[in-house]
Chain A
């Protein structure tokens, strides 16, 4: 066994799926041992297969396995790990989990618990980041508790407005309201949805920016107050606020805009006392105004497009920073080369978006120049109905956007998944869409696209 001079000798990955594999790959490159945890239905997952050690921590429902903090901590203690990487989803943004890790002398690979807590509350996050200098969309200063209050605020803000859940995420507890008559009902349904999804029914109102772009800035900060950004990701192609495809760089960001948005994100993160990798999400309107939406205090699904164009390994940096290493880069070191696109391959019907669990009977990965696939499935793998439908991410990198689109088209053609339905055909159609090819995209893109392709506009 090779000598490993690193501070971390062994890391537990408190996640599953492609991100668990993604973290294991970097750990292997760093000479760090890995411990996988899994539910009983995930026994045959690749993250279990490729970890050095593994333990089954519970049955299929996430609440009893991947969200089961005592079982995860207990496994961490049994295997004597130095740190826990939470991935995304599950416990990644649980300040409580981060605190427990700390109390158990296990390093949580992520920002401090108090920062996670602050950014997890969307109202507090907006207030804090606004104070830290980020522009925000005009909106209610806090929770909206009555219809009268909502009506008064919406008049000041101007229609259309959007009602959002304070504890929100993933599009749940959101309603776009175009007139005063719709507001009362929207407040009520958003609150009910939020209470069901997040156990917190509080909602707020802000101006709805029409045809905005979702542009996010990737940041890296160490524990000594040093912080840089790695440029932006264009994530406007979404359906029901779930991203389908991402690219970097954005077709509309000039170097000056990139600097303005990046510098603003970095300054805010410094004020916040942020450390580790994080993402500051902005809405960008057609006039070039940008507004802070929220901050994700974790690695993101779409991080590979940034890795492709910057050559940074974001997971490696998360681990290094958690080990207490200084960042070691300055903003001037950032180099953005070429263009990268990521397509999320979901086990879903590409037309109805209905989940499609089942056994993968044939599987082929695309290869060749500039293609990367992050996945945890293989031929014979059984896609279960228990977790999200993301089964693979196809990422391409090429010198220009046009070349990247051509590369993605041929990669998707060679990506063969039989036995279940996937969103590959959807991505192939998007690659051929004239608006997409022209770079003319906004968060309304899927609505337009599905209508154009004769499908019910199920996008918003």
Chain B
């Protein structure tokens, strides 16, 4: 779906790190990540690559529930004519999909499964159950890949493509918006 170029957004650094071939993380990279977390006022940062996963969390006074962009508002006095296209703006609202959109925009070789609705993303039919799909799972168009809960209704989302799941852009239990990339499929 639409993946606007949000150059000013911070989270596009994450996929860059994730694309590194090394299946581990060294101290320097870790320091980099901590600095990234601190400098951008993020509350939590999770990095996953084949073979490793690191999760950093900061007790933040801002108390944002999202990993992505904590709003850092421009001065309220910014004149409207001088407030150009949001793409060039230094900040913006907390948008649940920004993070995933930015990440997915770099996976142009993949078939992206977008969220058809606003809701909460669940990878498994119940908290105790196995996820519908994992990295490496093969899916058919009718395969259920996740559930999105909207107004207490559990909506099963189908892959609508066949291939191998190579990317999962959203964490279990996170809110998703319309058009937000959920999975990357390699056919």
Residues of A within 8 A of B (CB): 1, 28, 36, 40, 43-44, 46, 48-59, 65, 70-71, 73-75, 77-79, 104, 363-365, 373, 375, 378-381
Contact = CB atoms under 8 A, between A and B. Distances in A.
Interface in B65-103: 71, 76, 79-81, 83-87, 89, 92-97
Contact of A56 (B61, B76, B85, B97): B97
Residue of B76, B94, B97, B153 ringed by the most chain A CB atoms within 10 A: B94
B15 interface: no
B2 interface: yes
A36 B95 CA distance: 9
Given A1-B62, A51-B93, A59-B179, 8 more contacts: A43-B4, A46-B83, A52-B71, A55-B178, A56-B95, A75-B177, A78-B96, A379-B84
Interface string B116-127: 011110000000
A355 to B, nearest CB: 22
B47 interface: no
A43 B94 CA distance: 13
Residue of A44, A49, A364, A380 ringed by the most chain B CB atoms within 10 A: A49
Nearest to A78: B175
A40 B76 CA distance: 26
Given A52-B93, A378-B80, A74 B119 contact: yes
A323 B76 CA distance: 26
Contacts of B4: 43-44
Contacts, number: 103
Chain A interface, DSSP helix/strand/loop, else mixed: mixed
A28 B178 contact: no
Contacts of B89: 49
Contacts of A373: 80
Contacts of A71: 117-118, 150, 178
Nearest to B61: A1
12 contacts: A1-B61, A43-B2, A44-B87, A56-B95, A56-B180, A58-B117, A59-B178, A70-B153, A74-B118, A78-B118, A378-B81, A381-B85
Chain B CB within 10 Å, residue with most, of A36, A52, A74, A104:
A74
Contacts of A52: 71, 93-94
B84 A40 contact: no
A365 B86 contact: no
The residue among B89, B119, B151 with the most chain A CB atoms within 10 A of its own CB is: B151
Contacts of B179: 40, 56, 59
A379 B88 CA distance: 12
Given A46-B83, A71-B117, A40 B178 contact: yes
B1 interface: yes
Contacts of A381: 85
Contacts of A75: 118, 177
A49 B150 contact: no
A74 B118 CA distance: 7
Interface of B: 1-2, 4, 61-62, 71, 76, 79-81, 83-87, 89, 92-97, 117-120, 150-151, 153, 175, 177-180
A58 B1 CA distance: 11
Nearest to A39: B178
Contacts of A56: 95, 97, 118, 177-180
Contacts of A365: 79-81
Contact of B150 (A51, A74, A104): A74
B151 A53 contact: no
B81 A363 contact: yes
A365 to B, nearest CB: 5
A330 B89 CA distance: 44
B62 A55 contact: no
A53 B93 contact: yes
A73 B119 CA distance: 10
Nearest to A73: B151
B86 A44 contact: yes
B93 A70 contact: no
Nearest to A48: B93
A28 B76 contact: yes
A380 B85 contact: yes
A23 B154 CA distance: 32
Nearest to A104: B151
Contacts of B62: 1
Contacts of B2: 40, 43
B24 to A, nearest CB: 35
A345 to B, nearest CB: 14
B84 A57 contact: no
A375 B83 CA distance: 12
A1 B41 CA distance: 14
Contacts of A1: 61-62
B96 A378 contact: no
B178 A78 contact: no
A44 B93 CA distance: 11
Contact of B175 (A44, A55, A379): A55
Contact of B84 (A51, A78, A378): A378
B151 A36 contact: no
Nearest to B150: A74
Given A78-B119, A378-B85, A48 B92 contact: yes
A52 B83 CA distance: 16
A364 B62 CA distance: 35
A74 B117 contact: yes
A51 B84 CA distance: 16
